[in-house]
Structures are given as C-alpha cells and as structure tokens.
A and B are shown apart, each in its own frame.
Chain A
Amino acid sequence: MKIQQLSIFAENKPGHIAAPVRLLAQEGIDIRSLYLADTQQYGILRMIVSDWQKAAALLEAHEFVVKVTEVLAVEVADRPGGLTDILDALDGTGINIEYMYAFPNLCGNQAILIFRFADPDAAIALLQAAGINPLASNELLKS
C-alpha cells in the first residue's frame, strides 16, 4: 500500500530540474507524478516513477542526492468535496499530514492524492477503517 517516492535536492537555478528528468527519460523510466516544492534558493523535486529502485540507483550513480520516502496514494472522485471525504477520515485522530499533493487521473473521472505521513502505517489503518483503500504501487502505476 505504501508507495516509494523519490526526492531530489535541486538548486533553484535554470536547468537544474531538466538534468534528472532527462536522465530518467533516457533510461525509459516513466514519471507517474512529479511535484516541486521550492524556496527562493533551492527546491525538492518529488517523483513517483515506474521503477523506483532503478531510478534511485541511476540518479545516485550520477551524483544526485536522492531520498526514498514512503507515501500513500488515494484515489478520490474528481468532484467538489472529494478531498473532504478523506480529510474527514483523518480529522480528530491526531495524525499529521507532513505534506500532500494531487494530480488528476486522465483515464477516468478520478483524482489521485499523494500523502506523506510521519507514520504511514497508522494512516493506512485509519483510512481503511473509514473504508478508504490506499492504492498499491501497481495500481497507481497502471491507473
């Protein structure tokens, strides 16, 4: 249920995102989702890719600083209030969302939410108790 997300440190300068992305493209690795968190000086490029182990090894071999973190992916209906259903399940449980981002699923009327929790296992238990099943890695990659 947990998905491996790669994060890369990048300076906030022209061209600094292109290099890792180009590298993955050359090796035929598909980027399923990409999110850039940035400050004035630097940014963190977060990606979910088709083969995270190969991608991590490839990026490290090219001297990028890569961190692998476990995130949860949840599919919600792409309609007003879709996100609220998820947040309601977590509300009042004391579980904290470190960060999150969303992207639309182009093949259906769905959106996919990516959550980073301090304790992903506790979050899975709470979501499942509310009838919400985080996507398995293969489900996310084929969706």
Chain B
Amino acid sequence: MMNSVLEIGAATHHPASEPDYTPIGELRAMQLQRLRAVVTRAWQHVALFRSRLEGRGLSPADIGSLDDIASLPFTTKADLRDTYPYGLFASPMKDIVRLHASSGTTGKPIVVAYTQEDIAVWTSVLVRCFAGCGLHRGDIMQIAYGYGLFTGGLGAHYGAEGLGATVVPASGGHADRQIMLMKDFGVTAMCCTPTYFLHLIDRAAEMGIDLRELPLRAGIFGAEPWTQSMRQHIEKMSGIEAFDIYGLSEIIGPGVGCECRQHEGLHIFEDHFYPEIVDPETGQVLPDGCEGELVLTTLSKQAMPMIRYRTRDITRLLAEPCACGRTLRRIARIGRRSDDMLIVRGVNVFPSQIETALLQTEGTLPHYQIILTRVQGLDQLEVQVEVTPHMFNDKIGALQELHNKLQSSLDRVLGIRVRVALVEAHTIERSEGKAKRVIDRRTS
C-alpha cells in the first residue's frame, strides 16, 4: 500500500511545490523583480548596506539585470557580529515575530529575525523540501533537531506541520527515547543531523532494535556537511532513503535547498534565495558548473535581507535540467567549506578525509575530534576517537589492535603522521547535535 501511495505522490505534485516547476524565463523575471525590491528595502533600512552601496556610487536603480548583482557588496558573518544584535534588521521590532541565534561557538552569537511573512516563506520552502522527498499528509515526522535558538528544530517543525504530516517534536538528545518514539509511534521520517542519526543507528543496535524493520522510510539530514560514504552507510544500516537538506540561519535556516528523489544535487529554492558561485579568493563570479564558494541573496526576506551573503560552503551550481522536472538549479553536495581546510606541516587536510578513514576501518562512524597543536614549531595532529560499545573489548590486546588499525589507516589516507587517542564515550563536546570537529590550538 505504501508503495502505491508513493507512486501517486511522485506523479502528482504537492500543490505547495508548484513554484518548483516555474518556466525558466518566468523565474528569472521574478528573481529580477524581487532582487530590485530587496536591494531597495536594504538600502532604505539597513545603514551598513546603504553606506557600502553609496561607497561604490551605486543605488538600487542601477540594477538593470540579474547579472548586475555582481556589482553589489558582499555580506559576511563578521558583519552580523559587528552589528550585533539588531544592526542589520530592516523591519521595526513591532513587526518582528521571532528571533533565532547561532550556538555562538566564537564570542557573541549571530542573531537573525523573522516577520510573519518571513515565517510563512520559511514554512513554504520546508514544505517544498519535504514534498520533494516524497513525504505527504499521513507521514509521521520526528524532529530531532534542537528546539530553541537554533533554527533547525522550529524550522523543520513548521515545515512538517505545513505539509500536513503528524509531527513528533522530540527535539535533540535522549537517544533511547528517540528510538522508543520512532518504534512506538510508527515514525516514517526523521529530521536530524547525519551524525546524530549515525548515533541512533548504533544505539538502536545495542538496544536490539533493527531500524530496517520499522516503518521509517526517509531521513532528512542537514546542518553539517556529510559524505556519500556516510549516506551509503546510513541507508544500508537503517533501510531508509537519506536526503540532504541545506540551509543556514543567516539566510533563513534549513530549507534553502534540498535533494529531490533523484539525489543528484540539492535544488535551491531560487524564487526566494538567489545563488551565485564565486572564487573564494577573489570574489569573482564563476560560471555554472565551476566549483567555488556559494553566495546567497534573500529575494523575499523582510526582517533581515541578506545581500550576497558569503556562506563559506564550497560547491558547484548545476544548471542542467533535473530528471524530476524542477526548473530550480541545484548545488552539488557540500563536502567542505572554504574555511575547513587544515594545513598541517604543509599538507592539506580535510576533516572529511579523516571521516572516510574512520568509516573504512570501523564500518561505523564514532564521534571524533581533530586537535591541532604546535610543539617546538612543528604541527601535531591528534584525532580523538570515542570508544563505542561496538569497538570496546575487555582485552587490552584487542584495543591495541584497534588503535593500530586506526593509526595506520589515518596515516595512509592523510599522508602525515597522526596521533590517535581513544577517549571515553560522550566526552567530545557537542552543540545542538553538531559535533565540533576541529580544535585548532596552534597560535600564529
């Protein structure tokens, strides 16, 4: 029965998904009209933007085509920090119905604001995300992103309700309870970070529960970059279809883009978020298909318009038509950020390489953290790996063998000497279910 429902769902679009299929010409015209409106709004109400535009001798009237966006100044995370808390708001406080803030790992948090119209847009893009994943009224969706200042929980919640699904607002943490809810409530779709879902897979196995036997059929995972090997592992171990969802608080939260069932990139909801790819060094706009930094402009945001926001996420824009029929351009899966590359003793290291090595050795992804230090002028890279019940053994010899295996696999993948430390479970710091992957203690 479930299959036939899915097929009908695939053949007839969810009504909220109509804008996904807007003819290209019509979409571009709408984008230009909305771009002019949002630039005008920011110019009228945001002092920082106005002074930057005037510094370039520009005014909103200079935007004649979509390509003219390249002449506008960028906005960066530092701008949000410098104008903390309300400096970039374009609406009076009486019109702002919601504030969110980033978890604030460095200094002050980043504050973002929404009017009622913004919340409606946010909900609508998330409905389009979930509908694109084949979800519909009748699905039971468990939201295991943290509810609170973090945009993940409430964002996904509104979207799932907007879709008409039955929402289980579990919020983050309490793995055993999450698994109990999934099982007892017959949850069909899970929203959380991919690393948290990996943890749930391991924990369910320890509890003697096979996720493949539950009604669960889809997972919508985001808020951190993940790899294709993680997807394969998740799908194999839990029997679900895993979708990558993309978003960031500065733009709106989750729902800027999402995979459809083709799984060949994430469609960006271009009628609300205008994507560009730029060279992260020079800021020059790159043609579709080239890898570079994703820059986003909010086309309809009221409370906090973001003009050319530098996401630091490295990807490509895929303009060729998708087999699903959506006219929205896609971005390739984000494997890394322009700022997560580590240079250790002159060698480029990406945390995703370490993840791949751990997955290959263990067949599961334990929580890990990379610690960089400098001893007598020489960089030291330590990978701390949490010992899971699956890895642990009461024999010292077996633990040492595991240690050696991890060591040689990491040395091989990275090409540099790495120190591996086995640490106790749950000792690596987590914030909102996102693991903090890298601690750089090198100075200068």
Contact = CB atoms under 8 A, between A and B. Distances in A.
Contacts of A67: 389, 392-394
B424 A41 contact: no
Contacts of B393: 67
Interface in B390-444: 392-396, 399-400, 421-427
A5 B396 CA distance: 15
Contact of B425 (A5, A39, A64): A64
Interface string A33-47: 000011101101010
A53 interface: no
Contacts of B327: none
A44 B387 contact: no
Contacts of A116: 394-395
A42 to B, nearest CB: 6
Residue among B388, B392, B394, B424 with the highest chain A CB neighbour number at 10 A? B394
A54 B205 CA distance: 20
Interface string A1-23: 00001010111000010000000
Contacts of A69: 394
A99 B395 contact: yes
Interface size grouping (class) on chain A: 20 to 34
Nearest to A6: B394
A9 B387 contact: yes
Nearest to A16: B424
A65 interface: yes
A66 B393 CA distance: 9
A139 interface: no
A106 to B, nearest CB: 26
A91 interface: no
A37 B424 CA distance: 16
A98 interface: yes
Contact of B394 (A7, A11, A64): A7
Given A65-B389, A67-B389, A11 B396 contact: no
Interface in A114-131: 116
A116 B395 CA distance: 9
A44 B389 CA distance: 13
Given A65-B387, A67-B389, A41 B395 contact: no
Contacts of A10: 424
A63 interface: yes
Contacts of B387: 9, 65
B394 A39 contact: no
B425 A41 contact: no
A72 B394 CA distance: 15
Interface string A60-104: 000111110100000000000000000000000000001100000
Contacts of B388: 65
B394 A5 contact: yes
Given A11-B423, A65-B425, A42 B399 contact: yes
Interface string B375-397: 00000000000011100111110
Nearest to B389: A65
Contacts of A99: 395-396
A110 B394 CA distance: 26
Contacts of A9: 387, 392, 399, 422, 424-425
A46 B394 contact: yes
Contacts of A42: 399, 422
Contacts of B421: 41
Nearest to A69: B394
Contacts of B395: 44, 98-99, 116
A66 B387 CA distance: 10
A64 B399 CA distance: 16
A13 B46 CA distance: 53
Nearest to B426: A63
Nearest to B424: A11
Nearest to A68: B394
Given A65-B387, A66-B389, A67-B389, A39 B396 contact: yes
B176 to A, nearest CB: 9
A37 B423 CA distance: 16
Given A9-B387, A65-B388, A65-B389, A44 B426 contact: no
A65 B185 CA distance: 29
Contacts of A46: 394
A44 B399 contact: yes
Contacts of B423: 11
A94 to B, nearest CB: 19
8 contacts: A5-B394, A7-B394, A44-B396, A65-B388, A66-B389, A67-B394, A116-B394, A116-B395
What are the nearest 5 A-B pairs in CB distance? A7-B394, A63-B426, A65-B425, A9-B387, A65-B392
Interface of A: 5, 7, 9-11, 16, 37-39, 41-42, 44, 46, 63-67, 69, 98-99, 116
Given A44-B394, A67-B393, 16 more contacts: A7-B392, A7-B394, A9-B399, A11-B422, A11-B423, A11-B427, A37-B396, A39-B400, A41-B422, A42-B422, A46-B394, A65-B389, A65-B424, A67-B392, A69-B394, A99-B395
